[in-house]
Chains A and B, each alone.
Chain A
Amino acid sequence: EAGVAQSPRYKIIEKRQSVAFWCNPISGHATLYWYQQILGQGPKLLIQFQNNGVVDDSQLPKDRFSAERLKGVDSTLKIQPAKLEDSAVYLCASSPRQGAGTEAFFGQGTRLTVV
Chain B
Amino acid sequence: GQNIDQPTEMTATEGAIVQINCTYQTSGFNGLFWYQQHAGEAPTFLSYNVLDGLEEKGRFSSFLSRSKGYSYLLLKELQMKDSASYLCAVEGTVTALIFGKGTTLSVSS
Contact = CB atoms under 8 A, between A and B. Distances in A.
B96 A101 contact: no
Q: Among the interface residues A35, A42, A43, A56, which one has the most CB atoms of the partner chain B within 10 A?
A: A42
B98 A45 contact: yes
A42 B42 contact: no
B87 A43 contact: yes
B69 to A, nearest CB: 17
A106 B87 CA distance: 13
Contacts of B105: none
Interface residues of B, number: 23
19 contacts: A33-B96, A41-B102, A42-B87, A42-B89, A42-B102, A43-B43, A43-B87, A43-B97, A44-B99, A45-B95, A45-B97, A56-B94, A56-B96, A91-B42, A100-B30, A100-B91, A103-B33, A103-B48, A104-B97
Given A43-B97, A103-B48, A107-B42, 5 more contacts: A33-B97, A44-B99, A101-B30, A101-B50, A101-B91
Interface of A: 4, 33, 35, 40-45, 48, 55-56, 91, 100-101, 103-109
Interface of B: 4, 30-31, 33, 41-45, 48, 50, 87, 89, 91, 94-102
Sorted nearest first, the 8 A-B pairs with minimum C-beta distance are: A42-B99, A106-B42, A100-B30, A48-B96, A103-B45, A42-B101, A42-B102, A43-B99
